[in-house]
Amino acid sequence: MAFLYVAIRVFTVDITYDEAWTYFEYVQYPVYQIVSGYSPRANNHILNTLLTKLCCIVSTHQFALRMPNLLAFMLYLYSINKIADLLFNKSLLKIALVICVISNYTLLEFFGLCRGYGLGISCLMFAIYQLLQYPNNHNNRHLHYALLFSIAATYANFSLLFATSGIFTCVIYISYRFKKTLWYSLKLLALYASILFILCAYPIWCLINADELYYGGKDNFINDTLSSLLVEYIGYNFYHAGKYVSIIVLSALLTISAACSFIGVSKKKSNALVSVIPAIVLLIAILFTNLAFYIANSLLPISRTALYLYPLIILTAFSAIALLHQKHSVVATVLTCTWGLFNLFVCIPNLNFHQTREWWDEAYCSKVLQYISNDSKEKTITLWAFFPTTNTFNYYIEHRYADKMQQMPCCIKDYREAIVGNYDYLYLRNTDDISAYHQYTPVQTYHDGAFILYKKQR
């Protein structure tokens, strides 16, 4: 059902500004320029851009642009189901884990968008699944897959770099624990750290020099990262009704879960090593995030850049519950089932098929163009729209209305900077004052009057 929901949204949700920007700029570049930091922008999620460019060989329809992330969602579902099998024997507990990891409506949105967030999180979950397999059969290929896919996660979105550091830490710990030799661990680290450095170091350096790492928090981890993550999880209304309680509960949950996992390892309980891996990845990611913030003055991840922490938190908590289940099965079952029901209660009311949480400005672009196309008898129609909807409008003009409409100039943030009197239609916010242009009259409103379509009277 979750996959069907995301697949439908791939067709029904309008292309967002950032997706259209990826298509118009980075997908058009040669591969060398995509990967080398040419025209560095945070919008260029390199692995996502490369896969999108590959899909565009067949088609440039929005389905093709979003195909890499839709396929990544299949990898995500596969990994989570396999992790559930490794942690629990009872079907009920497995289902509860899968529900909790999947039922984050913000996370679901990114699996249906042409961005690197969903793709990176899928690679990260597959890497964790490979790590969890190693204690059972000691096959070295699991360590190699874990490292490769963690690198792919970072290459899909640089915000996952610290989680990749957690994967590297786990690989060193696991390989040393079972092989009893530090040499093999160091060889693995040197090989894959070199690959990570070659792929990511220069593009990240270019982004820093271009001052493109501007999206993030400046306060502290709890107020910025944890708070925004909770908002994306349970919604604004539910979060603000119990803001501090939510933060305290989540912080306590993380602390207790990690402690239980590490205690289990110290006492050599069965399945304890499997249970501690998600906690190590999560704690390393949190530690490095805070070190970068306080020492290197980098910004804290918020909202979509912090979204990768959500499945890590869920896996850490459920890994601790897996240890609890060995002696207190009833308590573990009640906890997991209650959590699963709570997630469904929070997630389902927020599901929709027409807009996203972060790019809701662009939700009506295709409807606006359809109205204009049906309304106007002009041979060539001109439209000016407020930033940041311009790229979305231009995408649909190119693909559906190229014979009737002209593409508009991009990225003019102030409508007063444009010569709006020369356009047949204006699409503006209701706060934009066009009283100086008497020739325009409103003909349509959208989003409860927040956006207004004006037509030039002749």
pLDDT tens per residue across span 167-178: 999 898 888 777
Most confident of 118-122, 317-321, 379-383: 118-122
The rounded mean pLDDT for the chain is 85
pTM of the model: 0.90
Q: List own/partner pairs for 409-412 with CB under 8 A and 24 or more apart.
A: 410/24, 411/387, 412/387
Most confident of 333-337, 395-399, 431-435: 395-399
pLDDT digits (tens, 9 = 90+) for 298-350: 999 998 999 999 999 999 888 888 777 666 677 778 878 888 888 888 888 88
* Interatomic CA distance for residues 108 and 3, integer angstroms: 9
Query: 9-41 burial, b if ≥16 CB within 10 A, otherwise e?
Result: bbeebbbbbbbbbbbebbbebeeeebbebeebe
Q: Could you tell me the domains of the chain?
A: 2-350 (no CATH), 360-456 (3.40.190)
CB 367 within 8 A of CB 446: yes
- The pLDDT-based confidence of 245 (bands split at 50, 70, 90) is low
